């Protein structure tokens, strides 16, 4: 769509959503994660611009480490005006308690408006956090003590979000949403219809698809950050779009974009461009490849996970962990070629399976692990 950014006017962007005991969350929220790579001065300027423009939702987790530390002292004096949406990444209750207490101390508060299980993105993680001794026990305890006013679930695995959307224990869900990532939209609509808060993350595709140095558009498709953000905010189910801004200018640009709602045609146009960007990538079919694969290689699962890493920069460590858990992986492929004969996207499936294996099974060993946070 090629929209030009302009400097924003100062405005409070209310979402219209509210709980009686919290401030009404704004339509845009400050995601702290990009602050990991910013110096203190840039964090200071970025946070101050967002606060000046009236943004009040803050999305953070202990595993964002230095990012949280850099922002906390700026946010502490504003506590009463903020909607603090904290997340605990630890999978076990005891460790999650440490994370929560550390975060509460850091923000100088006795409670968070929302406390969520962070990044529950596989069956194994879901079973861990929801099982005996899992982090969910800590969340229930925190709610009882008043350390968390509401409980939520965040993640990239739709079944976990669906569970939260349908469960009375959860008041909010947080998941990725952008024109190229719509897999959670139906669940978000369901959660909103049940009166729950819906926070959208990866609203700019983690900065990789729409950023200043995109991985490469496919065909003629081009989606600007403003397009993406407007697309997310125009979904009636989204309470707050969390934006990972890295400068005051980006905050102003996002603010400007949020002032314009897309009509139904604008939404459809951007969605179509999102699909075009993903053309040639796996995932928009009913996986006929699976029905013809005798060894039972989970083709779609592997290709989509690999695509996520390649295109949206999901966490390679986690994707590698998921890949390791597969009972059957790319190595079971016999190169029979049957899957390629039925693939509507004409993908080089065998080549992609091999590349995915190299990336997820070997590449992950080169990156730092977060195991000590589990």
Task: Give the span between the Cα atoms of 140 and 144, in whole angstroms.
Answer: 6
Least gap, CB of 85 to ligand SF4 (angstroms): 34
Asked if 350 interacts with ligand SF4 (CB under 6 A), we say yes
List of E strands, 304-365: none
**Which region, judged by CB under 6 A, interacts with ligand SF4, from 119-127, 159-167, 319-327, 342-350?**
342-350
Contacts with ligand SF4 in 121-150 (CB under 6 A)?
none
Report the SS3 class of residue 26: strand
Task: Give the span between the Cα atoms of 213 and 114, in whole angstroms.
Answer: 34
Task: Give the span between the Cα atoms of 242 and 258, in whole angstroms.
Answer: 12
Asked if 295 interacts with ligand SF4 (CB under 6 A), we say yes
**Contact indicator for 65, 93 with CB cutoff of 8 Å:** no
Asked if 333 interacts with ligand SF4 (CB under 6 A), we say yes
Asked if 347 interacts with ligand SF4 (CB under 6 A), we say yes
Helices 316-325, 299-312: axis angle to 10 degrees equals 170
Calculate ∠ Cα 75-78-79, nearest 5°: 85
**Which region, judged by CB under 6 A, interacts with ligand SF4, from 32-40, 156-164, 221-229, 331-339?**
331-339
Q: Which two tokens stand for residue 287?
A: 């996986």
Among 334, 348, 351, 358, binds ligand SF4 (CB under 6 A): 334
Helices 248-258, 40-52: axis angle to 10 degrees equals 30
Task: Give the span between the Cα atoms of 374 and 366, in whole angstroms.
Answer: 19
Least gap, CB of 350 to ligand SF4 (angstroms): 5
Among 73, 92, 338, 354, binds ligand SF4 (CB under 6 A): 338
**Contact indicator for 102, 65 with CB cutoff of 8 Å:** no
Q: What is the DSSP letter of 331?
A: G
Asked if 292 interacts with ligand SF4 (CB under 6 A), we say yes
**Contact indicator for 347, 303 with CB cutoff of 8 Å:** yes
Among 151, 297, 312, 360, binds ligand SF4 (CB under 6 A): 297
Task: Give the span between the Cα atoms of 329 and 298, in whole angstroms.
Answer: 7
**Which region, judged by CB under 6 A, interacts with ligand SF4, from 109-117, 218-226, 334-342, 354-362?**
334-342
Site string for ligand SF4, 247-286 (x = CB under 6 A): -----------------------------------x--x-
Q: Between 208 and 338, whose beta carbon lies closer to ligand SF4?
A: 338
Dihedrals phi, psi of 28, to nearest 5 degrees: -115, 140
Asked if 336 interacts with ligand SF4 (CB under 6 A), we say yes
Contacts with ligand SF4 in 299-318 (CB under 6 A)?
299-300, 303
Task: Give the span between the Cα atoms of 4 and 192, in whole angstroms.
Answer: 32
Asked if 220 interacts with ligand SF4 (CB under 6 A), we say no
The secondary element (H helix, E strand) that includes residue 316 is helix 316-325
Least gap, CB of 353 to ligand SF4 (angstroms): 6
Least gap, CB of 281 to ligand SF4 (angstroms): 8
- Number of Cβ within a 10 Å radius of residue 256: 19
Q: Between 327 and 365, whose beta carbon lies closer to ligand SF4?
A: 327
Q: Between 129 and 287, whose beta carbon lies closer to ligand SF4?
A: 287
Asked if 349 interacts with ligand SF4 (CB under 6 A), we say yes
- By the criterion CB under 6 A, which residues form the site for ligand SF4? 282, 285, 287-289, 292-293, 295, 297, 299-300, 303, 333-339, 343, 345, 347, 349-350
């Amino acid at each position: 769509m090629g929209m030009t950014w302009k400097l924003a006017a100062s405005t409070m962007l209310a979402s219209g959503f509210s709980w009686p005991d919290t401030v009404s969350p704004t339509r845009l929220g400050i995601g702290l994660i990009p602050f990991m790579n910013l110096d203190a001065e840039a964090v200071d300027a970025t946070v101050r611009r967002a606060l000046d423009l009236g943004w009040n939702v803050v999305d953070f987790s202990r595993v964002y480490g230095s990012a949280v530390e850099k922002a906390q002292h700026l946010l502490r004096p504003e506590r009463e005006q903020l909607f603090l949406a904290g997340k605990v990444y630890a999978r076990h209750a005891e460790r999650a308690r440490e994370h929560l207490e550390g975060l509460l101390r850091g923000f100088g508060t006795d409670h968070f408006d929302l406390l969520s299980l962070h990044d529950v993105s596989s069956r194994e993680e879901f079973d861990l956090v929801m099982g005996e001794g899992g982090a969910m026990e800590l969340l229930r305890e925190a709610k009882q003590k008043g350390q968390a006013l509401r409980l939520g679930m965040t993640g990239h695995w739709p079944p976990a979000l669906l569970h939260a959307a349908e469960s009375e224990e959860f008041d909010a869900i947080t998941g990725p949403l952008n024109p190229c990532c719509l897999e959670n939209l139906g669940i978000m609509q369901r959660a909103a219809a049940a009166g729950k808060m819906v926070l959208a993350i990866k609203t700019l595709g983690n900065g990789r698809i729409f950023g200043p140095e995109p991985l490469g558009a496919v065909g003629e498709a081009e989606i600007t950050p403003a397009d993406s953000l407007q697309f997310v905010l125009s979904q009636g189910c989204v309470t707050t779009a969390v934006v990972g801004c890295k400068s005051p200018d980006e905050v102003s640009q996002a603010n400007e974009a949020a002032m314009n709602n897309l009509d139904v045609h604008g939404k459809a146009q951007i969605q179509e461009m999102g699909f075009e960007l993903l053309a040639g990538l796996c995932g928009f079919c009913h996986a006929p490849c699976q029905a013809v694969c005798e060894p039972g290689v989970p083709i779609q699962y592997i290709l989509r996970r690999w695509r996520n890493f390649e295109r949206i920069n999901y966490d390679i460590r986690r994707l590698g962990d998921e890949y390791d858990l597969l009972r059957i992986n790319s190595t079971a492929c016999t190169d029979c070629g049957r899957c390629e004969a039925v693939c509507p996207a004409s993908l080089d499936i065998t080549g992609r399976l091999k590349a995915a294996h190299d990336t997820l099974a070997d590449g992950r060993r080169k990156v730092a692990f977060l195991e000590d946070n589990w």
